[in-house]
Copies of this chain bind each other. A is one copy, B any other.
Amino acid sequence: MDQNAAIEAFSAFAQPTRMAIYRLLVRKGPDGLIVGQISETLEIVPSTLSGHLSVLKRAGLLTATRNQREIHYSANMQAMLDLVEFMLSDCCGGRVENCSEILSLLERT
């Protein structure tokens, strides 16, 4: 995770439709949904949805798997934790007493 990757991920999330897509897929779990189901559930026209999916995928936030004619998209939840780790790394200049609770979370990832 470098700054460009982090910017790409935050930009991807910083849009209501894409955020809704991601959160829907988080709720659906590892199998995710096919594009048509996302389109129906969130009422997004296919061309618009396709663009948003490609933004999320390029940012590493979604995984796509083709199954016959259908493409299953699912959320990559680890990417969220990688983002946190990047944003909070080296926090408090190493004086851990100031942010030990947060650091203890990151150590487990």
Contacts and interface: CB of A to CB of B under 8 A. Distances in A.
Interface of A: 3, 6-7, 10-11, 13-16, 19-20, 22-23, 26-30, 75, 77-78, 80-81, 84, 87-93, 95, 98-99, 101-102, 104-105, 108-109
Given A77-B102, A102-B78, A14 B7 contact: yes
B15 A7 contact: yes
State the copy count for this chain: 2
A3 B16 contact: yes
A6 B98 CA distance: 25
A87 B29 contact: no
Contact of A84 (B20, B81, B89, B95): B81
